[in-house]
Chains A and B, each alone.
Chain A
């Protein structure tokens, strides 16, 4: 499933989408950046309530396909800017991480 298809099916708000054709291979939920760094796998969609700018560095380093900020947490402008700068796809959802993960997995 591509990022574009996923964003459409899950009704995500696109903050920045670098390559719409990138494949989403799975899902990882986590808010503790050290844990995310060591556990998230390349290609997964990373669901988190963290919105600070460091999530973009973690996304780059782990190679996740995108970051989805859940629970309607507000994304600071500097995080959105950094996502565009670093070419990280960033989405936003009002739904809780677990619910969104269930919906995402059903699509894969």
Chain B
């Protein structure tokens, strides 16, 4: 194992939209301090923010664990929400099960997962309906 890994952990409050974005903003700062390429920081920030929002809207809260190594950024979101019944369908742009409240705030357009797939180098989703969802994002620093 590489011992040059920075590990960060964030709790994501499932009832508070106003806190969403805080973990992503912090990660953006950390990556800037580490001198990571701005294009990679942007891809990480976008995909991570979408993950945070999903954890609030759909997961009813959860945690985000971030592992930054010299080669890659790995972000794992874990929630104990309702789970995703049909992952393939959830991946389709425009498909959304978000609440009216989320839509009013400018979310819920069915772009969260597609954006994450677009901006991360790898996206892995594991979900069990009724138990929760784990979403892993990997962004390579050196491709």
Contacts and interface: CB of A to CB of B under 8 A. Distances in A.
A50 to B, nearest CB: 5
B30 to A, nearest CB: 13
Interface string B36-75: 0010001001100110010000000000000000000000
B50 A54 contact: no
Contacts of A58: 21, 49
Main secondary structure of the interface of B (DSSP, over half): helix
A54 B25 CA distance: 12
A28 B25 CA distance: 21
A36 B21 CA distance: 14
A58 B50 CA distance: 10
B25 A60 contact: yes
A78 to B, nearest CB: 7
Contacts of B109: 32, 34-35
A26 B107 CA distance: 24
B32 to A, nearest CB: 10
23 contacts: A32-B106, A32-B111, A33-B53, A34-B112, A37-B49, A37-B50, A37-B115, A50-B105, A50-B106, A52-B17, A55-B106, A57-B21, A57-B22, A57-B24, A58-B21, A58-B49, A60-B21, A61-B21, A61-B24, A61-B28, A61-B46, A62-B42, A78-B18
